[in-house]
């Protein structure tokens, strides 16, 4: 029983689904703390450079592979290059999707706990009246974070199960405009606090002494993480894009939106940190400690806290949807099972690593790999090693193994669109992108 493959039904649907995937915890939770830890705007400058020379070409390459191969992350390679081993790249991606889902749903679960607790802000005995103590106790708890994680995975599954049009596209069309509204309201509120603009000044004072091989590795890893590249999300989503759409424009819009969203989030979170007089170098706890501190001392704090954690939860949800979809699309087509069963298996599978990752702040704290707990280990290994490696293989595949004619035909919709930039793109894709990834990957790993 072979059903025709689904495609997104409208251009708005494509853009919201793809931006939904890229905009996530990476922008709001991870980017600001990486900035705070790695030299502020010096990191921002390196990051933006990588977005242009690494992110954009890889985004286009993945979308092209997906639309050309017209299948999931693994099978698209097979359709384009049958009887080769390139499928392995897709398989690596499916594995990376599981790993990212594991720690991603841990943090996504935390956002739900914080949403619920937001209601009490400002009242006597609110659990969030001492955010630092609350955070440290909460993440150690063996039950609550796991329950929230289960709920989050269940919500993701409940959307993915409905498929591309009725599940992913429909949810993204509602959630993404809401996300935009929330970030604008919150930015306006925080930036007008006394000292709220100090975040902006911090971003204007680059500290280049903090840039070294490890910083570059983090900036590159984060560029891929934030743009959802290197594990086949864009291959999978690309396969749902109709032949008449312009994938070059989609790539451009998405990369630009993601970067703008990251900068807005950085202004929001750094602004909140400075308004309260704390340095933004706290690491992963930054948004969970600093922000509630700010909300506690702000009129209407409960309301803005609720909006903020809702923002985080929604951003996370449209991203976990895309991660789960990589696995579901593969499982469904590879094992010829129904979408329902594929979703169930993928959700349960994601918890095999996900629950230990959540518990790695409490009961499993003693399990350490490379000097890190499981959560941090999964994060570092996937973002800084697996994604760059996946992206490297993708550009080698597209730049060296495919004829430039094939690529140009895909990007220009069979030569019906002009692409004067193509020779430059092809040059970057063939030489600059793989060379740079390789250098940073090797020097970064050696210095890690
Ligand atoms: N880009 C998302 C974020 O910034 C996370 C994400 C979704 C992701 N899908 C991905 C990261 C695929 C890497 C690969 O939060």
- 393-447 pLDDT per residue, tens: 999 999 999 999 999 999 999 999 999 999 999 999 999 999 999 998 998 788 7
Contact at 8 Å (CB) between 289 and 153?
no
- Quote the strand ranges of 114-225, DSSP E: none
* Helix (DSSP H) and strand (DSSP E) numbers for the chain: 23, 2
| Ligand 1: nearest atom to the Cα of 25 | 15
**pLDDT, greater one: 282 or 30:** 30
| Cα–Cα distance for residue pair 347/387, rounded to 1 Å | 21
**pLDDT, greater one: 276 or 217:** 217
Q: Is the CB of 190 under 6 A from ligand 1?
A: no
pLDDT of 2 reads 54
Confidence band of 202 (pLDDT split at 50, 70, 90): confident
Exposure of 370 by Cβ count < 10 A (0-12 exposed, 13-18 middle, 19+ buried)? exposed
Alpha carbon nearest to ligand 1 atom 10, residue: 228
Which residues contact residue 49 at a Cβ distance below 8 angstroms, ignoring those fewer than 6 apart? none
Q: Is the CB of 384 under 6 A from ligand 1?
A: no
Long-range contacts of 137-141 (CB under 8 A, 24+ apart): 138/110, 138/113, 139/110, 139/361, 139/362, 140/361, 140/362, 140/365, 141/362
Backbone angles phi, psi at 369, to 5 degrees: -125, 130
Q: Is the CB of 390 under 6 A from ligand 1?
A: no
* Residues forming a β-bridge with 372: 369
Nearest alpha carbon to residue 310 among 115, 52, 153: 115
| Ligand 1: nearest atom to the Cα of 231 | 14
Q: Is the CB of 233 under 6 A from ligand 1?
A: yes
pLDDT surpassing 70 at residue 57? yes
C-alpha distances out from residue 103 to 90, 144, 190, Å: 21, 16, 28
Helix ranges restricted to H, 51-169: 56-69, 73-80, 87-118, 131-140, 144-160, 163
Lowest mean pLDDT among 40-54, 285-299, 383-397, 416-430: 285-299
**Maximum CA extent, the chain:** 68
Element (H, E) at 333: helix 301-335
Q: Is the CB of 228 under 6 A from ligand 1?
A: yes
Tens digits of residue pLDDT in 74-126: 999 999 999 999 999 999 999 999 999 999 999 999 999 999 999 999 888 88
The CA-CA-CA angle for residues 288, 22, 38, to 5°, reads: 55
Contact at 8 Å (CB) between 248 and 424?
no
Q: Is the CB of 225 under 6 A from ligand 1?
A: yes
CA of 144 from ligand 1 middle (Å) equals: 25
Contact at 8 Å (CB) between 90 and 394?
no
pLDDT of 368 reads 94
pLDDT of 1 reads 44
pLDDT of 276 reads 80
**pLDDT, greater one: 159 or 272:** 159
The CA-CA-CA angle for residues 422, 426, 428, to 5°, reads: 120
| Cα–Cα distance for residue pair 63/360, rounded to 1 Å | 35
Q: What is the percent of the chain where pLDDT is above 70?
A: 99
Could you tell which of 18, 19, 26, 386 is best to mutate to test the pocket of ligand 1, judged by most ligand atoms within 8 Å of the CB? 26
Which tokens hold the place of 193? Answer: 């606090």
pLDDT surpassing 80 at residue 3? no
CA of 394 from ligand 1 middle (Å) equals: 17
CA of 1 from ligand 1 middle (Å) equals: 33
Tens digits of residue pLDDT in 313-332: 999 999 999 999 999 999 99
CA of 231 from ligand 1 middle (Å) equals: 9
Which tokens hold the place of 261? Answer: 């969203």
Tens digits of residue pLDDT in 112-133: 999 999 999 988 888 999 999 9
Per-chain mean pLDDT for the chain: 93
Average of per-residue pLDDT across 276-285:
82
Could you tell which of 101, 104, 160, 319 is best to mutate to test the pocket of ligand 1, judged by most ligand atoms within 8 Å of the CB? 319
pLDDT of 298 reads 86
CA of 323 from ligand 1 middle (Å) equals: 7
Could you tell which of 19, 233, 257 is best to mutate to test the pocket of ligand 1, judged by most ligand atoms within 8 Å of the CB? 233
Alpha carbon nearest to ligand 1 atom 7, residue: 319
Contact at 8 Å (CB) between 32 and 288?
no
Element (H, E) at 368: strand 368-369
């Amino acid at each position: 029983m072979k059903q025709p493959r689904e495609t997104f039904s409208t251009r708005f649907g494509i853009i919201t689904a793809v931006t939904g995937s890229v905009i996530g915890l990476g922008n709001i939770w991870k980017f600001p703390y990486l900035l705070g830890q790695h030299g502020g705007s010096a990191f921002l400058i390196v990051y933006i450079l990588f977005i242009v020379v690494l992110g954009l070409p890889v985004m286009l390459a993945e979308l092209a592979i997906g639309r050309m191969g017209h299948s999931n992350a693994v099978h698209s390679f097979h359709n384009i290059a049958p009887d080769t081993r390139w499928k392995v790249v897709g398989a690596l991606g499916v594995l990376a999707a599981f790993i990212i889902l594991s720690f991603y749903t841990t943090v996504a679960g935390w956002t739900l706990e914080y949403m619920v607790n937001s209601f009490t802000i400002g009242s006597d005995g609110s659990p969030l009246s001492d955010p630092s103590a609350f955070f440290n106790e909460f993440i150690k708890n063996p039950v609550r974070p796991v329950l929230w994680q289960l709920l989050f995975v269940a919500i993701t599954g409940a959307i993915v199960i409905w498929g591309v049009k009725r599940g992913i596209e429909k949810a993204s069309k509602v959630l993404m405009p809401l996300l935009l509204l929330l970030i604008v309201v919150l930015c306006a509120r925080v930036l007008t606090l006394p000292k709220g603009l100090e975040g902006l000044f911090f971003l204007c004072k680059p500290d280049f002494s903090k840039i070294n091989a490890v910083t570059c590795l983090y900036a590159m890893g984060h560029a891929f993480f934030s743009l959802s590249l290197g594990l086949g999300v864009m291959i999978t989503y690309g396969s749902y894009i109709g032949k008449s759409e312009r994938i070059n424009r989609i790539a451009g819009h998405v990369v630009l939106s993601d970067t703008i969203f990251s900068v807005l989030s950085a202004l929001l979170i750094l602004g909140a940190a400075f308004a309260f007089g704390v340095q933004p170098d706290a690491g992963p706890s930054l948004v969970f400690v600093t922000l509630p501190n700010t909300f506690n001392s702000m009129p209407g704090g409960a309301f803005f806290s609720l909006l903020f954690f809702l923002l985080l939860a929604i951003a996370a949800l449209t991203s976990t949807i895309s991660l789960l979809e990589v696995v579901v699309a593969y499982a469904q087509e590879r094992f010829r099972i129904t979408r329902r069963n594929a979703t169930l298996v993928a959700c349960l599978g994601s918890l095999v690593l996900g629950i230990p990752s959540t518990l790695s702040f409490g009961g499993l704290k003693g399990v350490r790999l490379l000097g890190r707990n499981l959560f941090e280990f999964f994060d570092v290994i996937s973002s800084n090693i697996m994604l760059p490696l996946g992206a490297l293989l993708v550009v080698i595949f597209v730049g060296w193994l495919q004829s430039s004619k094939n690529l140009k035909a895909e990007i220009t919709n069979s030569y019906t669109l002009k692409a004067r930039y193509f020779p430059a793109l092809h040059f970057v894709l063939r030489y600059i992108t793989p060379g740079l990834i390789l250098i940073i990957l090797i020097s970064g790993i050696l210095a890690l």
